[in-house]
Amino acid sequence: MVPDLSIDADWNSLYIDGEWVDSESGDDIAVEDPSTREEVARVPAGVEADVDAAYEAAADAQKEWEQTPPIEREQLAQQFAQVLQDHEAEIVDLLAHEAGGSQVMGETSVRIAADQAAQAATFPRRMGGDQAESNVPGKENFVQREPEGVVTAISPWNFPLNLSGRAVAPALATGNAVVLKPATNTPITGGLLFAKLYEKAGLPEGLLNVVTGHGSDIGDAVAGHPESDVVTFTGSTPVGRGVGATAGENLSTMSLELGGNNAHIVTADADVEAAVDSAVFGSFVHQGQVCISINRHLVHESVYDEYVERLTERAESLPVGSAHDDETVVAPIIDEGQRDEMLGYVEETVEAGATLETGGEAVPMEGVDDSLLVPPTVLSGVTNDMPAAANEHFGPIAPVVPFSDVDEAVEMHDDTEYGLSGSVHAGDVGTGMQIAERLDTGMVHVNDQPINDEAHVTFSGTKASGVGRFNATDILEELTEKKWISVQHERREYPF
């Protein structure tokens, strides 16, 4: 018998009101393995009628759920964390098949998702209110925290497990119901898998509803549904602007994590070996398909040549190949659209005068037509306005840009519409902190690289990198609302 969490299981049903049901359309969508380019599953192509059914179920179930004792919601989050860990091997395999995730990417995804669930388990007991003195004699003021109602979670394809989980787990823990719309490329690990895992954890019916489908068909219906009280979204800035505009018509609360053009700053006094070590992970883990990965390497001119040489050597040493090989570090890109766009940026940057040190084109894979495998790519002689540096390339590409002093580095860092994450290597912590404080970005990491995510620490961006926040108590604030109740204990005197 095929295990129910394997890629060979039946994934061709929506999950609505605790039941696995067919889509109203009767159509389905193929899921492709980026390593083999083969179809590995089919999922339903949901339509607006399915979306409506999902929100109706969520709204009905939420009314009872918010009245449950905190310990029940706490235990659900704990059980979900345990289920994740119990099925880590199957989940890692699913991520390899669907997202092209290496072993490191898969294991990291499960660890972060379990951390998010553990953090969410603390929320039910942290939803208490406040009591305040009144300016009116005999009056008592109470402020209560209540769930918003129905939370919409629209998740991306790059890290589908934990970028869905950071919305779903805290939403359920705070007494909300959820409608989850995963990305078309990763409808299983970003959506349908959650339904199966939460069933194993004992989730009551109707509280989690998963609708797969093309964003062009149901995206607006999901983002702008009248029953949606909160919209969480992770994805590109152009798509996020559309989601935000649609959600805004309902005056929904929004947490939108959008694009980034994250810089890795290396000063003249930096430990170059340590900076390169950080850079290799920050640029090439999961093929650079990470919203908080290094998009630009800003390196002081005095250590520039050494940095480029070391980075190129390390890039060429990384194992590349199928995501199904445990030794692989850099696996294939998610699809040909992403591959062609990033390679276009590389070609345009070379045409603009940069030097291609290594990589720069897709390489063949045995038995695979039209390979998606792009090896680690290093570009030197890059300026901040060249395409690979100015655009979010979202690939295993490392454009290295020289600077002459820290003021110029800060100016170059901020010369982008984005402000998501970043990193600084400056030789000592104090100097690194001083530089970090000057950067216009939501997150920055000293003596490290930009890819950091801890469920108990805030996660947010500035400028076009999003609105709202995830993680820590920030997501608790986004998913709940406050109600002021006053009690007049003795008869009040009015002026008329």
pLDDT band, residue 76 (cuts 50/70/90): very high
Quick: pLDDT tens for 430-449: 999 999 999 999 999 999 99
Average pLDDT in the 265-279 region? 98
Question: Which of 361, 389, 365, 387 is CA-nearest to residue 374?
Answer: 361
- pLDDT value for 2: 60
What token pair was written down for 408?
Answer: 């110029």
Question: Which of 408, 381, 388 is CA-nearest to residue 296?
Answer: 388
Q: Who contacts 102 (Cβ-Cβ below 8 Å, separation ≥6)?
A: 96, 286, 323, 328, 329, 330, 331
Q: Is 291 a catalytic residue?
A: yes
Quick: pLDDT tens for 392-406: 999 999 999 999 999
Cα–Cα dist 372/377, whole Å: 14
What token pair was written down for 358?
Answer: 């290594």
pLDDT band, residue 3 (cuts 50/70/90): low
Cα–Cα dist 491/493, whole Å: 7
Stretch (H or E) spanning 280: helix 272-284
Among 98, 148, 291, 478, the active-site one is 291
Q: What is the mean pLDDT of the chain?
A: 97
Instruction: Look at residue 218 and tell me whether its pLDDT is greater than 70.
Output: yes
As a whole-number percent, the residues of the chain with pLDDT over 90 amount to 99
Q: Who contacts 381 (Cβ-Cβ below 8 Å, separation ≥6)?
A: 353, 354, 355
Cα–Cα dist 472/71, whole Å: 19
CA geometry: angle at 436 spanning 430 and 440, to 5°?
160
Instruction: Look at residue 1 and tell me whether its pLDDT is greater than 50.
Output: no
Instruction: Look at residue 324 and tell me whether its pLDDT is greater than 80.
Output: yes
Instruction: Look at residue 495 and tell me whether its pLDDT is greater than 70.
Output: yes
Q: 432 by DSSP, 3-state: which? A: helix
Quick: pLDDT tens for 442-479: 999 999 999 999 999 999 999 999 999 999 999 999 99
**Predicted model pTM:** 0.96
Quick: pLDDT tens for 163-186: 999 999 999 999 999 999 999 999
pLDDT band, residue 129 (cuts 50/70/90): confident
Q: 207 by DSSP, 3-state: which? A: coil
Q: Is 227 a catalytic residue?
A: no
Stretch (H or E) spanning 257: strand 253-257
Instruction: Look at residue 141 and tell me whether its pLDDT is greater than 80.
Output: yes
Average pLDDT in the 203-212 region? 98
What token pair was written down for 202?
Answer: 């004992």
What token pair was written down for 286?
Answer: 């999961």
**Strand pairing class (422-425; 262-266):** parallel
Among 98, 148, 227, 257, the active-site one is 257
Domains and CATH numbers, the chain: 14-258+465-483 (3.40.605.10), 262-446 (3.40.309.10)
Average pLDDT in the 133-160 region? 97
- pLDDT value for 128: 86
Quick: pLDDT tens for 352-369: 999 999 999 999 999 999
